[in-house]
């Protein structure tokens, strides 16, 4: 499932090959929890494992003290070294040292000295660890790929040790560092501020959800004709291409004895996964709720706040009115939910980035705390009805013309602000709207009149050509006295030239992902 991430794989492969040849670029692999970061690295390193010039070393900082971190590094180093040499290995550090003494005597001697200090509970500096790594590289002429999972937890180590580690990263050119983190905002902050000067530049690779094409490829490959095309698209809409969720759902559908899975059976099996306390998804989501609550001293309002946002009340003014609390109290809770990555913010919208979790919150979780459905079958029937309604809503939207769907979306604008990429733009309430043809029959102009200015849009499903950008820019010039907001929309990937031309002409440029973000913020199904 994860090998569909060809671009990310190619980038990592290119960096490792350059490192072998003498040019090092450290990598930070960032993505949400359960997006497959560790598995992706594992698959990549397994491909590289037979390369005689590199050796992978892996350590996860979750729940590790510094002394445990040292032992893990040494164990992994010797385990992979002996396995590469002899085709087999042990998982006991003491036995690994005995096994390796003849091959790398200087490395094992330094390793024993460091471990001796740890055994005597004496404080050691990071130099005693790096000396072991340096000696290994010197003795074997093998470069290291040092993978540090949950690297943001370095902040919990003594500052002196972290400082020594940062200096080592700069000095040692025969080790390529690959940092992994599921805490996206915290990782970006550390890399851009705290570690940037000391660690040097880390190239960030974002391992996010599968694209719609990748997700459809996975579903088609695994389920083939067991599921109809609309239902396959619905799975992508429901999970937003989250690989872990897709894997669980696909495997459950494969376990069905039915050759064909119709809408009713699909909904039944999905509801079982969402509502059964013994299912993996239910336990993950319930644990997520519990972790969220642990982040708040005052747990009041967290349940209703999450439920309202999951139901689509994503503007702060709506939340204030419905919860009947003061702005300061709400701001504090929203800020905390943003900090712990439960919510994302785009302009004036707050939303739960995990689509399946969001559905679970406003269905299963909501029923559990607000509805008197004591019996399991009653709760299950309620969830099935909600899933059926969501499926029918998606099918109806998917059958519509994409231009009409976008026009309907424009009518939902209510003087909101949205952020796409690094740019924010205001979306005014449109009083009057007109569709105008372009020279290219595939493109249409949408002219929306707002209270204070015009919103001028060009819509084209296929990739735009330079002539499309120029024609749109020229058409916008007719409204220059109206101070128009100008946006070019395409549902296909545009080439760099078109984007640069749009930037030169001071146009906002939206692709399918940006349109789908808007559809999500306004509680509409995605275009798949």
- Point out the domain boundary residue: 380, 399, 418: 399
Q: What is the mean pLDDT of residues 22-47?
A: 87
Same structural domain for residues 261 and 161?
no
Same structural domain for residues 194 and 215?
no
Q: Distance of alpha carbon 468 from its chain centroid, rounded?
A: 33
The tens digit of pLDDT for each residue in 384-416 reads 999 999 999 999 999 999 999 999 999 999 999
Q: Is the pLDDT of residue 1 over 50?
A: no
Same structural domain for residues 344 and 430?
no
- Classify residue 299: in a domain, yes or no: yes
Backbone angles phi, psi at 62, to 5 degrees: -60, 120
- Point out the domain boundary residue: 341, 367, 399: 399
Residues 6+ apart with CB under 8 A from 237: 355, 394, 525, 526, 528
CATH of the domain at 412: 3.40.1350.10
| 286 to 36, 184, 274, 282: CA distances (angstroms) | 20, 22, 10, 6
Q: Is the pLDDT of residue 481 over 50?
A: yes
- Point out the domain boundary residue: 188, 206, 224: 206
Backbone angles phi, psi at 417, to 5 degrees: -120, 135
Instruction: Please work out, in degrees rounded to the nearest 5, the angle formed at the alpha carbon of residue 200 by the alpha carbons of 198 and 202.
Output: 125
- Classify residue 526: in a domain, yes or no: no
Tokens of 89: 């290995």
Residue 35 and residue 93 in contact, taking contact as beta carbons nearer than 8 Å:
no
Q: Is the pLDDT of residue 178 over 90?
A: yes
Q: Could you give the CA distance from residue 396 to residue 399 in angstroms, rounded to a whole number?
A: 5
Q: What is the mean pLDDT of residues 372-393?
A: 89
* Average pLDDT, rounded, for the chain: 89
Same structural domain for residues 31 and 169?
yes
Instruction: Please work out, in degrees rounded to the nearest 5, the angle formed at the alpha carbon of residue 265 by the alpha carbons of 259 and 266.
Output: 95
Residue 361 and residue 310 in contact, taking contact as beta carbons nearer than 8 Å:
yes
- Classify residue 528: in a domain, yes or no: no
pLDDT (0 to 100) of residue 501: 92
Confidence (pTM): 0.84
Beta bridge partners of 419: 424
Backbone angles phi, psi at 493, to 5 degrees: -65, 135
Same structural domain for residues 55 and 183?
yes
- Higher-pLDDT residue of 198, 351: 351
Task: Say how many Å lie between the first and final Cα of the chain, rounded.
Answer: 19
pLDDT (0 to 100) of residue 198: 47
Same structural domain for residues 407 and 386?
no
Same structural domain for residues 231 and 329?
yes
pLDDT (0 to 100) of residue 209: 85
Domain that holds residue 385: 209-399
CATH of the domain at 76: 3.40.50.300
pLDDT (0 to 100) of residue 281: 95
**Residue 144 has what DSSP assignment?**
E
Same structural domain for residues 156 and 216?
no
- Classify residue 230: in a domain, yes or no: yes
**Range in 184-193, 206-215, 221-230 the model is least confident about:** 184-193
The tens digit of pLDDT for each residue in 415-442 reads 999 998 788 899 999 999 999 999 888 9
Q: Is the pLDDT of residue 23 over 70?
A: yes
Residue 135 and residue 112 in contact, taking contact as beta carbons nearer than 8 Å:
no
Same structural domain for residues 143 and 9?
yes
The tens digit of pLDDT for each residue in 179-206 reads 999 888 888 888 876 555 444 578 899 9
- Classify residue 527: in a domain, yes or no: no
Length of the chain: 528
* H-helix segments, 256-365: 263-275, 280-294, 302-311, 316-323, 327-339, 355-360
- Would you tell me how many other CB atoms lie within 10 Å of the CB of residue 391? 19
Residue 191 and residue 203 in contact, taking contact as beta carbons nearer than 8 Å:
no
Q: Is 74 exposed, middle or buried (0-12, 13-18, 19+ CB in 10 A)?
A: buried
Same structural domain for residues 433 and 515?
yes
Residue 490 and residue 511 in contact, taking contact as beta carbons nearer than 8 Å:
yes
Q: Is the pLDDT of residue 50 over 60?
A: no
| 343 to 223, 252, 291, 339, 366: CA distances (angstroms) | 32, 29, 14, 8, 18
Which of 429, 481, 434, 423 minimizes the C-alpha distance to 456? Answer: 434
pLDDT (0 to 100) of residue 272: 95
- Higher-pLDDT residue of 5, 231: 231
Q: Domain count of the chain?
A: 3
pLDDT-based confidence at 301, cuts 50/70/90?
Answer: confident
Same structural domain for residues 175 and 47?
yes
pLDDT-based confidence at 157, cuts 50/70/90?
Answer: confident
């Amino acid at each position: 499932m994860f090998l569909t991430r060809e671009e990310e794989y190619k980038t990592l492969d290119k960096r490792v090959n350059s490192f072998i040849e003498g040019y090092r670029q450290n990598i930070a692999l960032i993505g949400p929890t359960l997006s497959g970061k560790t598995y992706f690295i594992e698959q990549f390193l397994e491909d590289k494992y037979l390369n005689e010039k590199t050796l992978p070393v892996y350590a996860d900082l979750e729940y590790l003290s510094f002394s445990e971190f040292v032992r893990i590094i040494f164990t992994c180093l010797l385990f992979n070294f002996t396995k590469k040499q002899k085709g087999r290995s042990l998982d006991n550090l003491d036995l690994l040292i005995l096994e390796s003494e003849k091959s790398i005597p200087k490395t094992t001697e330094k390793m024993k000295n460091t471990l001796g200090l740890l055994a005597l509970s004496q404080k050691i500096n990071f130099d005693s660890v790096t000396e072991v790594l340096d000696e290994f590289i010197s003795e074997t002429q093998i470069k290291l790929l040092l993978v540090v999972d949950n690297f943001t937890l370095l902040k919990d180590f003594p500052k002196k040790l972290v400082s020594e580690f940062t200096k080592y990263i700069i000095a040692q050119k025969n080790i390529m560092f690959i940092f992994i983190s599921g805490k996206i905002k915290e990782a970006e902050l550390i890399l851009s501020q705290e570690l940037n000067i000391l660690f040097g530049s880390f190239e960030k690779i974002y391992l996010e959800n599968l694209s719609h094409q990748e997700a459809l490829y996975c579903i088609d490959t695994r389920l083939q004709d067991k599921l109809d095309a609309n239902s396959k698209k619905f799975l992508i809409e429901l999970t937003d291409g989250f690989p872990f969720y897709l894997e669980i759902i696909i495997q459950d559908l494969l376990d069905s004895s039915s050759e064909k899975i119709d809408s009713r059976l699909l909904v039944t099996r999905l509801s079982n996964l969402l509502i059964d306390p013994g299912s993996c998804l239910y336990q993950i989501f319930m644990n997520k709720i519990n972790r969220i609550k642990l982040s708040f001293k005052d747990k009041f309002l967290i349940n209703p706040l999450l439920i309202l946002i999951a139901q689509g009340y994503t503007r702060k003014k709506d939340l204030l009115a419905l919860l009947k609390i003061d702005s300061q109290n709400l701001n504090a809770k929203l800020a905390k939910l943003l900090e712990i990555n439960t919510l994302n913010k785009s302009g004036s919208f707050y939303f739960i980035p995990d689509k399946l979790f969001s559905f679970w919150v406003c269905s299963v979780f909501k029923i559990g705390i607000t509805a008197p459905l004591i019996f399991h079958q009653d709760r299950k029937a309620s969830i099935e009805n909600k899933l059926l309604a969501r499926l029918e809503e998606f099918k109806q939207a998917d059958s519509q013309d994409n231009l009409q769907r976008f026009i309907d979306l424009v009518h939902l604008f209510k003087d909101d602000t949205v952020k796409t990429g690094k740019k924010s733009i205001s979306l005014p309430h449109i009083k009057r709207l007109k569709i105008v043809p372009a020279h290219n029959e595939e493109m249409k102009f949408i002219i929306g009149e707002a209270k204070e200015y015009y919103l001028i849009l060009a819509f084209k499903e296929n990739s735009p050509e330079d002539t499309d950008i120029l024609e749109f820019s020229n058409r916008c010039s007719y409204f220059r006295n109206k101070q128009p907001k100008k946006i070019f929309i395409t549902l296909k990937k545009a080439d760099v030239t078109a984007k640069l031309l749009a930037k030169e002409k001071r146009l906002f440029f939206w692709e399918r992902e940006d349109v789908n973000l808007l559809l999500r913020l306004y509680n509409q199904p995605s275009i798949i």
